[in-house]
Structure 1
Amino acid sequence: MMKYFYSLFFLAVALTESTSAQTIDSLDIKIGQMILIGFPKGDVDAEVLREVKQGKVGSIIIFEKNIPAKNSFVALKKITWTYQQAAPIPLFICIDQEGGRVNRLKDKYGFPRSITAAAMAKASTLDSVRFYSEATASTLAGLGINVNFAPVVDLASNPDNPIIAKFGRAFSANEDSVALMAKEVIKQHRKYGVITSLKHFPGHGSSKADTHLGIADVTNTWEERELKPYQLLIDSGYADAIMTSHIVNKKLDKNGNPGTLSVDILTGILRKRLHFSGVVFTDDMQMQAITKHYGFEQAIKLAIQGGVDIMTFSNNISGSDERTVNKVHSIIRSLVEKGDISQARINESFKRIMLLKKRLGENSVEANDKQTVEKLQIALNKTEADLATAKEELKSKSDELAKVQESLAQTEPKKKKKKKKRSED
């Protein structure tokens, strides 16, 4: 199976290198990889399965509504397995499993208990972060979920923030502490081959409003230090992917576009200034910060032009129009055909997505098991070498002891002879 996936990866990446050989089919596949959708219930949806098979969807997302109430682990595993097996290119199967309030896999379904980032940060050591993150990551891996939209690296800079600090979603108000704890979350996920996505770029912690409900303008509250966790994690190689925020910051975007739709923020700051070359996911394109202020086609165009790679359409937000895959797909294709978006721009995203998906193979249980065996073999070899050294040292000591004993044995008769002679005298 892994060899099959690898061949698909190499074929897919090769498509981006030969633009002269573009076909309608290849463009459709590339566009499909840029679309992430939700599905309606706790069962495989026939329409979504068909779209996955056709390559019109590259990622799906799990919400609580998708978790079967009975025998939840096995039933959800069957759902993810069915979608994954149907995909011509391996799917990103995503979830928001931060812990605490943002927690799809609740303990009432038999999943491990989780706590908020703020609660984890209260411990005097990083053990709490490690423990809960490993419990989450191992559970996700077992379920076939390979992308967690976590950790949150927003700062708890505004304690009255209605969507971040209020729910304990931030580790700390201190940027260095946030980066330190986020790195531990990522380490535990990587142990189990689960990709993480930092959020919400360029920082949602200082907002006074909820982007689910409308515009959140942070122009006068946002601080430069909100970028520091991203910079630290990118520089140290711990940024697998990044999720955008719909916040408005007119100091960062001269046109006042939300971060998700901003070329100044995504290309100017994230790509060029912070040198992030990986995959950028959007927060949900159906949040009202987007839908109330931008037309559907305009929002898609601005997102792609800005530097987004994968757009999220969850069909999970109350009051939002349902966005069908065909509609999203046809809009993107039309934008390419009209020249509003270049095929080169689509290729950029496709290549980034394929490179990240290639890591699904490299980070698989099979690969991790191989790494574990290799580490154990190294440890065993070292132990055997140590034992051999100890054996040589023991032999050397034994030889020395034998010589001493032999010397003593030769000396003893002489002593007895001398003693006998003195007694005769």
Structure 2
Amino acid sequence: MSDARVTRRLLLAGLGSAAVSALPGCDSATPRAARQVAATPAATAGPTSGGASAGAPVRGEAALRRKIASLLVVGFRGERARDAEWVLRAVRDGLGGVILFDRELQTDKPRNITSPAQVAALTKALRDASPGRRLIVSVDQEGGKVARLNPGDGFPASQSQAQIGAANSTATTRGWAQGLVHSLTSAGFNLNYAPVADLAVNPDNPAVAKLGRSFSNQVDVVVKNATEEIQVHRAAGVKTSIKHFPGLGSATANTDFAVVDVSDSWTPRELEPFQRLIAGGVTDSVLVAHLLNRQLDPDLPASLSRAVVTDLLRGRLGWQGPTVSDDMQAVAITARFGRDEAVALALEAGLDLLVFANQQVYDPNVVDETIDDVVALVRSGRLTEARIDQSVARVDALRPRR
């Protein structure tokens, strides 16, 4: 589709297609010992994070570590909190959030969810361990094939977004969303990585259309139904995250398992649902995809690109709220970047909440080591503590109220 391509310069200048013109105006190779030496304690005071609000203030490096911890969401193995002591310890120390799954990716064995009563007890134990009980407890509950709370574990069946979009009825969408939200609230979740705002422009897309994850290939249908779904979530106190910015609908592969390049298939029209949901005031957070789109950034995937996150999403689209990463352990990232460099680029780009699903690989040290690395980035001057504070403030909006 070379005729439809727009350059990054044209896109960001608002001179591309009508869709665009309508928009509102430390390296992984560095030895860990060296990075830890760089992360020497500082005497400067810093505010506590949103997740560390209870108790007396902490200062210096301890405060910085708690702030960084509050920007991380991790997955773990276990049906009870005591099955993963490292997670409980991290939660007590100010971890931002957890993400739960029904099955292990590689083995299809039960992971965190086996029954409504079991998962409710698990999430309660995690929230009780969190300072101020402000832990983000998150899940992917889109409906249809992507529903971690499903009939196999005692939850009601749910239709897919594609089925709801085909009906395109406000009453149908509201009833469907109420069913999703009832499962979420009864199980103790307060953040749902949904709805999918991608346009189903490629019917053979294995990551979106083939799984029934998009409401439609029509912007109006996507916006109407996503708006209704978000409003139902909000009424019940559950936050949402629209995804996968800047649009995964034209992809031919899944970023969880491959490097996905949409440079020749993506069009600016795929931004429209995101733009309209943001402008309509119904967005809680935006999840940024790991896809490569050279129309927007010639080198970096969207999630690690300042051109996409800061210039396009925050600049052109005007989004000033929290941004969320897709799984930082996905193949689309790990095939090219080490974790340390990916985290550095993501924070430099403007992402706020970094998700480590611990599904592709399982790393119980991911929280401590990521915090070590970000502290080293701050001490080296590559990141500023003020930049961390920006994300802490934005992520605080996603947390449950005290």
TM range (shorter): 0.7 to 0.9
> How far 1:207 moved relative to its partner?
0.9
Q: Secondary structure at the match of 1:346?
A: helix
Distance 2:72 2:112 in 1: 22
1:339 aligns with 2:381: yes
Query: Is the alpha carbon distance of 1:216 and 1:165 closer, same or farther for their aligned partners in structure 2, counting shifts above 3 Å?
Result: same
Letter in 1 for 2:89: R
Distance 1:242 1:251 in 2: 20
Aligned to 1:351: 393
The structure, 1 or 2, with the larger RCO (C-alpha pairs under 8 Å, 6+ apart) is 2
> How far 1:68 moved relative to its partner?
4.5
Q: Secondary structure at the match of 2:326?
A: strand
Q: Secondary structure at the match of 1:325?
A: helix
1:324 aligns with 2:366: yes
Distance 1:162 1:120 in 2: 19
Distance 1:342 1:11 in 2: 16
> How far 1:124 moved relative to its partner?
5.0
1:112 aligns with 2:156: yes
Q: Secondary structure at the match of 1:60?
A: strand
Where in structure 2 are the equivalents of 1:279-290 lying within 5 Å? Answer: 279-290=322-333
> How far 1:108 moved relative to its partner?
2.2
Distance 1:83 1:222 in 2: 40
Distance 1:276 1:114 in 2: 31
8 Å Cα contact 1:163-1:210 kept in structure 2: yes
> How far 1:138 moved relative to its partner?
1.8
> How far 1:323 moved relative to its partner?
5.5
- In the alignment, which of 14, 21, 29 is matched to residue 66 of structure 2? 29
Distance 1:98 1:327 in 2: 31
Aligned to 2:25: none
1:361 aligns with 2:401: yes
Distance 1:170 1:226 in 2: 12
TM-score (norm 1): 0.77
Letter in 1 for 2:102: E
> How far 1:296 moved relative to its partner?
1.5
Distance 1:186 1:330 in 2: 36
Letter in 1 for 2:401: G
Q: Secondary structure at the match of 2:131?
A: coil
TM-score (norm 2): 0.81
Query: Is the alpha carbon distance of 1:225 and 1:323 closer, same or farther for their aligned partners in structure 2, counting shifts above 3 Å?
Result: farther
Distance 1:205 1:266 in 2: 18
Aligned to 1:233: 277
Q: Secondary structure at the match of 2:260?
A: coil
Letter in 2 for 1:337: R
1:143 aligns with 2:187: yes
Q: Secondary structure at the match of 1:243?
A: strand
Distance 1:361 1:263 in 2: 31
Where in structure 2 are the equivalents of 1:43-58 lying within 5 Å? Answer: 43-44=80-81, 45-55=84-94, 57-58=95-96
Letter in 1 for 2:87: V
Distance 1:102 1:37 in 2: 19
Runs of 4+ off more than 6 Å: none
List per-residue Cα deviations over 1:183-242 (Å, max 9, x = no partner): 011011111100000000100001112111221111111111111111111111101001
> How far 1:51 moved relative to its partner?
1.0
> How far 1:322 moved relative to its partner?
6.4
Distance 1:289 1:114 in 2: 29
8 Å Cα contact 1:43-1:68 kept in structure 2: no
Aligned to 2:296: 252
> How far 1:127 moved relative to its partner?
2.3
Distance 2:223 2:76 in 1: 33
Query: Is the alpha carbon distance of 1:323 and 1:287 closer, same or farther for their aligned partners in structure 2, counting shifts above 3 Å?
Result: farther
Aligned to 1:370: none
Distance 2:197 2:113 in 1: 31
Letter in 1 for 2:100: I
Distance 1:337 1:296 in 2: 18
Distance 1:204 1:117 in 2: 15
> How far 1:80 moved relative to its partner?
0.5
Q: 5+ unaligned residues in a row in structure 1: which ranges? A: 1-9, 363-425
> How far 1:356 moved relative to its partner?
3.1
Distance 1:354 1:174 in 2: 33
8 Å Cα contact 2:49-2:70 kept in structure 1: no
8 Å Cα contact 1:278-1:356 kept in structure 2: no
Identical columns (%)? 37
8 Å Cα contact 2:142-2:196 kept in structure 1: yes
Where in structure 2 are the equivalents of 1:22-421 lying within 5 Å? Answer: 23-44=60-81, 45-55=84-94, 57-65=95-103, 66-69=111-114, 72-89=115-132, 90-123=134-167, 125-254=169-298, 256-317=299-360, 324-357=366-399, 360-361=400-401
Distance 1:137 1:305 in 2: 34
Where in structure 2 are the equivalents of 1:11-26 lying within 5 Å? Answer: 12=49, 23-26=60-63
8 Å Cα contact 1:179-1:233 kept in structure 2: yes
Distance 1:286 1:120 in 2: 31
Distance 1:180 1:312 in 2: 28
Distance 1:159 1:281 in 2: 26
Q: Secondary structure at the match of 2:125?
A: helix
Distance 2:192 2:281 in 1: 17
Distance 2:170 2:156 in 1: 19
List per-residue Cα deviations over 1:47-79 (Å, max 9, x = no partner): 110111111x1110010034453xx11211111
Query: Is the alpha carbon distance of 1:12 and 1:284 closer, same or farther for their aligned partners in structure 2, counting shifts above 3 Å?
Result: closer
Letter in 2 for 1:41: G
8 Å Cα contact 1:234-1:274 kept in structure 2: yes
Distance 1:215 1:323 in 2: 25
